[in-house]
Amino acid sequence: MTIIDDGVIKFTLNNQEMPLKVDINTINSLENWRKKLYAIELIGEYKSDHIGYGNLSLLIKRFGRNDQPEFLITGTQTGHLPVLTANEYTLVHSYDLEKNIVNSEGPMKPSSESLTHAAIYLANQEISAVFHGHDTHLWNEMINHNYLSTAASIPYGTIDMAVAVQKLTYNKPSGLFVMKGHQDGIVSWGRTADEAGELLLEVNHKFKR
């Protein structure tokens, strides 16, 4: 068990390193959307700092281990890669929001936003996909147009963020919100990957420069 606090993963992570036990068609359905979001730079890398951004997840089981939603998610610091294989995805199978713990299994560590994704799946049983992208222009426009948002005082990857996103999503099966306390961060969620993805494409088209 390790606690990593280097500005990337902020929760206690227990990852069992092993081959990913998820159907390749399921992986591809998420990867197809990742490619689209990478193409419009909602997923990518801050090149000056060599820090990747953006992550996607897809529900695998509504009631998995510990009766919690299990979900497939992109691995941490993979934003710079134009294409991911099964080696860059991980299965998050259980977690404790109050104790800030994430348990996963797969070839690499899960995204630093895994706790936020978990909170959204717990909040609403209709939600099956969560996408998180970064874009300075969209972030500012969504704030200026009063989109749903988390408070500027709440940083990413924390218990406070998990609680905040649950309040935003518990009665909405799909939508968008902006993370005021996470520079450039925007999130979509939906009943399917297509629904979550289309929401990001639509807001990108609406406010594109």
Biggest distance spanned by C-alpha atoms of the chain: 45
Tokens of 103: 């348990």
Q: What per-residue confidence (pLDDT) applies to 87?
A: 97
Domains in the chain, please, with CATH?
2-207 (3.40.225.10)
Low-confidence ranges of the chain (pLDDT < 50): 1-7
* CB neighbour class for 124 (10 Å; exposed up to 12, middle 13-18, buried from 19): middle
Q: What per-residue confidence (pLDDT) applies to 2?
A: 34
- Rounded to two decimals, the pTM is 0.94
**Rounded to whole angstroms, how far apart are CA atoms 91 and 17?**
11
Residue-wise pLDDT tens digits, 38-94? 999 999 999 888 889 999 999 999 998 889 999 999 999 999 999 999 999 999 999
Q: What per-residue confidence (pLDDT) applies to 66?
A: 87
Query: Would you tell me the crossing angle of helices 193-207 and 136-144 to the nearest 10 degrees?
Result: 80
